Each structure stands twice: as structure tokens, then as C-alpha cells.
Structure 1
Amino acid sequence: MSMISKAASLTRWSRLAGVAITLAALGVAASAAQAQSFEELRKNGKIVIGIQGENPPWGFVDGSNQSVGFDADVGNLLGKKIGVPVVFERVAVANRIPSLMTGKVDALIAVMGMYPDRAKVVQFTKPYSAIDITLIAKPETAIKSPADLKGMRIAVARASAQDKAVTAAAPEATIQRFDDDSTAIQAFLAGQVDALGANNTYNLSISKVAPTAQFEVKLDFNRQYNGISVRPGQKQYVEELNAFIDEIKANGELDKIYERWLGQKVPEFPASLPDIPFVVN
């Protein structure tokens, strides 16, 4: 976090906050103001979950056009817990929050990094996963500190944690923003940029499309914790979701998902994060 200034962190997320708050104030989605609970979802007969569609191993589409991945497994467990079918709504990084705030989805399980500015817009649960935000480049690209990024072309997924980190660390770089992770990765592999704002699971995505590609982590920015995201004010719903997360941690189901998709055990999650409430008061 030392590379990310408070001033820079207000740029993109404050803009998102303004958009989402304006939508809510205008009443774009009346459902956004209504309380929600597992029981109401049972009455609706389904839960609609926003999930990424092109970001392995978190959320992507298999050969049968089904949503699969880490977040899909968590979403399917949630549907099983509630006792309703899961409908996955595929979202891009940039339209995750609007999809939630306009009532298009009941929850986001879509690698939603828990940051204070986002917490002003959506309500987070406690963390259920974590990733490390990094910058990668070819081995021969000389990058030892953020100062070396001056004048470089860097690809990022628009409105992502990588976008935030690179924007803060490299004000004199040319940042090329793409609609999702996969197109940012393609730009990097095609040599359109010098470096790529990434996370520690990008190697899995790259290995699928370019197994012989050579790259290495040049900078580590921060560890990002991800929470399930819902609309503000849904007290009972958040309590039930937190209980669900506690349950899949305790019974080993989250460990199985971690092993399947990331090849590791569940990391330690913080009991609290500054300015990011896990409950509705």
C-alpha cells in the first residue's frame, strides 16, 4: 500500500461512488432500497449473481457456455445454502457496481476488492478470498521501482484494482485501459504495451493462451481482499452471507475451492479492515 497515495485512490473510486449514489438517489432501481434476505430469495425462486466472464480462474465460460471458476463455485454453494437455483449474470470489471446498484443482480461474487471508496457505494461481507496486485513485464524490461515506469505503456483492466494501483504508482506512464482482464492480457502478449497491471492469478490465464510466454513480476503493490458485495442497508442479508462464509470456511468447502482453482490453502483473513464495515449497523 506504500506505493498507492490517498490522493490517487480518490480518483476512480470516487467517480464510481458518485455514479452509483446518483443512480440510487434518482430511484433508477426501486429494489435497491428494499431489504433482502435468504427467505425473500427463496420466495423469488432464484438468486442472480454477478460474476466475471473472462477472468480465469475466478470467473470464465467453459465449452458448454456455463460460468465456471472459483467465484462460480462459491456462488453455487451459496445457492445450495439458500435452497434456490443460481443464475449467473456475466459482468465486466467496469459494470459490476452499476449491475448491482440497478438491481440487475442480487449480489456480486466477482473479485470485488475491498477498498474504502468502494465501501461508500456497496456493502461488503467479510472476505472470502484474496489476491496480490502486481505489475508484470518481460524479463528484459528494466523495472525496479515505480520511477522506471515513466514513459512506459501499461495495460490494465478498466476500474480494476490494478488500474488503481498503476494509476497511483505511475503518473507519467501511458496507461491503456481495456474493458476486461482478458483483453488487457492480449494487449500485453501482442506487444502493444510494455507492462501489465496484474494479480497473482494472471499466470493461469496467460498459460492457457500463451504457454511459452516469458514474463515476471516486477512490482508488488498490495494484497487485495475480496468480499461478496450487495446493496447498502441490507442488514439481514449481510448477516446471513457472513454466516455462510463462516460455514464454508469451517467445514472445509472453501479450502476445496482454493485447492481446485488456486492450488493453495485458504489464507488468513483479517478480522477487520480500516473504513470497510463487514456488517450493517
Structure 2
Amino acid sequence: MAGKFSLRSIAFTLVAGVSMALASTAVQAQTLEKIKSAGVIRIGVMGEQAPWGSIDASGQNIGYDVDVAKLIGEEMGVKVEFVPNAVSARIPNLLTGKVDLQMAVMGMYPDRAKAVQFSKPYAGLKIILLSSTKNNIEKIEDAKDLRIGVPRGAAQDKSITTLLGDVPNIRRFDDDSSNMQALVSGQVDAIGGNTTYKINLDKAAPGNDFEQKLVFNEQWMGVTTKLGDSEINAWLNQFIDKIKADGRLEAINKKWLGEDKLPNFPEKLEGVPFTVE
């Protein structure tokens, strides 16, 4: 009797598991239709990281990610609701449903790809170390005794911590603007940032002597959704192909980054699938 009960229990569990998986797939397949039915899509962007995402004097969201997000809304035929994000809150905000899509300078890395689904890349930048011209830094070890600022949990935090270890002189800040302000005010001697930091530093402190010292890696950005959400992932990849082909993405790239041509986007990234597997 016990054996039969056990077998029936196992069979029931397997059937239930399959049913739950099918139900889950059905819910995921309805995501795009639900967004269209609601008439609004909530998209996560940065609130204080120009030129990717910031707030202008009239309180409007502006930036590279913002302009791409607006095109997503136009293509879907829905209104876009922008949700500003702290760096450390980007993935939690997506997974807890506070946003439908996350576009807050989402660098495409294998560890993140375990938690979220990336689209094809639509933007790129380099992760770098910036410091005064007075500091001679040719390799990261030259900066080991300097106070180095990073946004907590960002790609530059990981890069510098991996290379130097979690040393006490690495100072972590809640966002990019606080990180840059720490360099301008002299709280730190160098900061981990990206290639667009210099644009913002020149606005905040005209005539500064900050320069790019090191390049840690090239970072590609994709639109992120929840894992397994195949329908909206496929839609996003088609959308990115479309705005690359018709010149709209190139126009956004020139407007915000000052570059005449789009970068050569990779066809694949190790450990980061562009489609739901």
C-alpha cells in the first residue's frame, strides 16, 4: 500500500509540476498583451546619470535610454511611465514587478544573466578609472593606495574589487552622481566610472584635470525582462533590429554620445543569451 501511495504521489507531483510550468508559460506569453491592454509600460531608467538617464529643469526624463524607451512605447502603441532607479535596485525592481522593463544602463554580464533576460545590445560604453593628471596610473596596482570611489554594485565596483581585492580604500556610493561628486570634492582620489562620466565631470567642474587612466572592459547594454518571458524578449529583439536598420538608434547615439556611427554590436556574448533559452 505504501509503495502504491508513493508512486501515485510521485505521478501526481509530476503532473502538477507540468501543469504549473504550462500555466507559468501561459502567463508569460500574455505579458505583451497585458501591457498593450493596460495602455502603459513601466520602464526603469537612471534618474541622475546623464547622458543615459536624468531629469531636466522641467522635471522630464531625458537621455539615451529614455529616448530608446520612448520608441518602445511608440512601437507598442502605449504610454511610457518612467521609473528612476538606484544602481543597486535595478534588478530587484524588475523581479518584484515595479517595472516591466529595465533599461537603467544595464550592462550585460553573465552573473546578471542568471537573474534576468537580456535583449540584444542597443548601446555600449567602456568601464574605466578616472583620476587627476597628477596621479601616474598605468596599471590598477598603481592605484592600490589611493582612495577609489565606485557606485555600489556597479560593473566598476566588481572590476576594481576583483583586481585589487575588497580593500578598505574602496569607497562605495549609492549612485553615479555621488561617486562623481566625491572625486570633485576630494573625498576620493580616483573613481571607477564609464566613458560618459567625463561629459558630466566637465559640466560639474569646468576646467578639471580628470582623465581616463585605465579601461577595464567594454560594456554592452540590453533591455532586461524577467527570465523566461520569451514573447516580449522576441519583440524587443525585433524592435532593436528595426531601429538600427532605419537610423533611429544611430540618431539617438549621435545626440547623446556625440558619435557619428553606432558601435559594432557583438552578435553574441559569452554567458549572456540574447534570447530565451
TM-score interval, normalised by the smaller of the two chains: 0.7 to 0.9
Per the alignment, residue 222 of structure 2 pairs with: 227
Q: Does 1:275 align with 2:271?
A: yes
Displacement after TM superposition at 1:203 (Å): 1.0
**Gaps in structure 1 of 5+ consecutive residues:** 1-30
- The one-letter code matched in structure 2 to 1:45 is G
Per the alignment, residue 198 of structure 1 pairs with: 193
Displacement after TM superposition at 1:96 (Å): 0.4
Match of residue 52, structure 2, among 49, 58, 79 = 58
**Correspondence list, 1:38-57, <5 A:** 38-57=32-51
Regions of 4+ moved over 4 Å: none
Q: Deviations over 1:17-47 (max 9, x none)?
A: xxxxxxxxxxxxxx99941543221101100
Displacement after TM superposition at 1:112 (Å): 0.4
Q: Does 1:120 align with 2:114?
A: yes
- The one-letter code matched in structure 1 to 2:117 is Q
**Correspondence list, 1:205-216, <5 A:** 205-216=200-211
Based on CA coordinates, which of the two structures has the bigger radius of gyration? 2
Alpha carbons 1:154, 1:173 under 8 Å: kept: no
Per the alignment, residue 88 of structure 1 pairs with: 82
Q: Deviations over 1:188-212 (max 9, x none)?
A: 0101111010110001111221111
**Correspondence list, 1:38-187, <5 A:** 38-171=32-165, 172=167, 174-187=169-182
Displacement after TM superposition at 1:214 (Å): 1.1
Greater mean deviation of Cα atoms: 34-43 or 143-152: 34-43
Task: State the alpha-carbon separation in 2 of the partners of residues 147 and 78 from structure 1.
Answer: 43
- The one-letter code matched in structure 2 to 1:193 is V
Alpha carbons 1:123, 1:233 under 8 Å: kept: yes
Give the TM-score normalised by structure 2.
0.88
Displacement after TM superposition at 1:185 (Å): 0.2
- The one-letter code matched in structure 2 to 1:188 is L
Give the TM-score normalised by structure 1.
0.87
Task: State the alpha-carbon separation in 2 of the partners of residues 129 and 89 from structure 1.
Answer: 20
The alignment covers a number of residue pairs equal to 251
Per the alignment, residue 254 of structure 1 pairs with: 249
Task: State the alpha-carbon separation in 2 of the partners of residues 134 and 187 from structure 1.
Answer: 16
Task: State the alpha-carbon separation in 2 of the partners of residues 231 and 211 from structure 1.
Answer: 41
- The one-letter code matched in structure 2 to 1:177 is R
Identity %: 48
Alpha carbons 1:32, 1:231 under 8 Å: kept: no
- The one-letter code matched in structure 1 to 2:201 is I
Alpha carbons 1:33, 1:233 under 8 Å: kept: no
Alpha carbons 1:116, 1:276 under 8 Å: kept: yes
- Aligned-pair Cα RMSD in Å: 1.5
Alpha carbons 1:49, 1:86 under 8 Å: kept: yes
**Gaps in structure 2 of 5+ consecutive residues:** 1-23
